[in-house]
Structure 1
Amino acid sequence: MPVLDLPPWPYPRWIAHRGAGRLAPENTLAAFRLGAAHGYRMFECDAKLSADGVVFLLHDDGLARTSNGSGIAGEQDWDALSQLDAGAWHSRAYAGEPLASLGAVAAYCQANRLMLNIEIKPTPGHEGQTGREVALAAARLWSRADGNAAGTTPPLLTSFQPEALASAREAAPELPRGLLFDALWTGWLETALTLGCVAVVCEHGLWDLSSMTQAQNAGFRTLAYTVNDEWAAQRLIALGVDSLITDRVDLFPPSA
């Protein structure tokens, strides 16, 4: 297997999952603000397409769990989606919090010198289109930033869907990519190499000495999700993981 010649890793060790984990409504600007208040400099979020092509943040295909909406989010226009309440489900303190567009998140991150890991989360059947449009939007939004501060560091694009990453690579090859895994299926590293990824991102229990060694020997940076216990963090750091994604922004100092 060829060894990749990769540039230095520009991202911090600790990444806040969906903004601030479970402490605020996930994938909203309120969550980003809370994660930043805990000192986090990088955030993971989920991005998908509205029916009229706007890139916005949402994890699920459906709206019911994290908003007062219903139905499939990707089948609705952004005008309707932007009027939903994406905060009241979490707690009364966040009632009225809207869904966030990628444009709004980019503006916040760049103004505050923060970094982003955008997980491409396609509505089923729209993998290629979503990968392309998320990558194009990210390339456009971050090209507006000036200087070399953290907020201008290009976002890391990740996905469980190889088709989405392939389309992202074609649309914006300059943006770094990572393949996500919830199981290490046959050909996992070869697929990441074929997609031109710089990183592999695994459910934290998948990382052991063997898988870590294979990934590092192939030249990949390694990330783990979702790391919410101190014993798990210590184990992964000892293995040599590059970055850890956590809900527990209240437990793990981001500079650790």
Structure 2
Amino acid sequence: MNPWPYPLWIAHRGAGKLAPENTLAAFRVGASHGYRAFECDVKLSADGVPFLLHDATLQRTTPAHGVAGERDWNELARLDAGSWHSPAHAGEPIPSLETIAHYCLHNGFALNIEIKPTPGSEQETGYAVAREAARLWASEALKPLLSSFRPDALAAAKAADASLPRALLLDSLREGWLDDARALACVAIVANHAALDAAVIAQVHAAGMRALSYTVNDDATARRLAAAGIDGLITDVVDHFAPDTLIHS
């Protein structure tokens, strides 16, 4: 396998427990704890702008309701995505992928972009996110890692720019998962920690890919996966795990 360029520890949704998830504020909190790699969810606005949001709908993390992907970016950009978390973050906006890219590039941070399509827009979203990522990181050696639970979104990302690294997200080891990852020319799989053990990680490595895990929030799981040879650990608790500590030899 080629050397793996990404840090072991990755801040989930940009430290999305200590600050409003998928916002610039959350990235800044993660960075304040020493993290140099981040994960975020990206979908498309109605007018084709990639932006950060986990849910298909707006009501959990903004005062608005309805499907986020049915709104134009100028509407989404004005929403308050911070008050739901705490008064200190009132008025924090939903960021575009471009905003997060500039922050990461300015600071030398690595990024895992989860392609999170609004249902029914898998191919459109995969293609558009990859095109935007290719543009934003055009002059950079370290590209963002594009991941998705949706093989069709990853296939569209591959069609848009095959040079960007891809990873298949897995909640469980469903039938055909490794064949799907191979067919998409993935460099990694990112799986629920409960689905991974030493045998599965060895299988992934034998296929020439890396194994990453989400969402690792306790010491026992981190130690178990580290001993099994894990390549990346995505965590919510950036205030608990020190990202510069290698927990495996």
Q: Calculate the TM-score normalised by the size of structure 2.
A: 0.97
* Distance across 2 between alignment mates of 1:80 and 1:21: 23
* 2:54 corresponding residue in structure 1: 59
* 2:122 corresponding residue in structure 1: 127
* 2:94 corresponding residue in structure 1: 99
**Which runs of 5 or more residues in structure 1 are unaligned?**
1-5, 146-151
2:85 aligns with one of 84, 90, 108: 90
* Distance across 1 between alignment mates of 2:51 and 2:135: 15
Runs of 4+ in 1 over 4 A off after TM superposition: none
* 2:26 corresponding residue in structure 1: 31
DSSP 3-state at the match of 1:116: strand
1:21 deviates by: 3.1
**Could you tell me whether the CA contact under 8 Å between 1:15 and 1:245 is conserved in 2?**
yes
| Structure 2 residue 197 is matched with structure 1 residue 202 | no
2:215 partner amino acid? T
* 1:221 corresponding residue in structure 2: 210
* Distance across 2 between alignment mates of 1:96 and 1:66: 12
DSSP 3-state at the match of 1:175: coil
**Could you tell me whether the CA contact under 8 Å between 2:83 and 2:92 is conserved in 1?**
yes
* Distance across 1 between alignment mates of 2:195 and 2:177: 12
**Could you tell me whether the CA contact under 8 Å between 1:21 and 1:249 is conserved in 2?**
no
Per mean C-alpha deviation after superposition, the further-off stretch among 95-104 and 214-223 is 214-223
Aligned ranges 1:49-198 → 2 under 5 Å: 49-145=44-140, 153-198=142-187
1:245 aligns with one of 208, 213, 234: 234
Root-mean-square deviation (Å): 0.8
DSSP 3-state at the match of 2:137: helix
1:81 partner amino acid? L
**Which runs of 5 or more residues in structure 2 are unaligned?**
none
* Distance across 1 between alignment mates of 2:229 and 2:104: 28
* Distance across 2 between alignment mates of 1:139 and 1:79: 23
Report how many aligned residue pairs link the two structures.
Answer: 245
Identity %: 60
1:201 deviates by: 0.5
* Distance across 1 between alignment mates of 2:54 and 2:129: 14
DSSP 3-state at the match of 1:143: coil
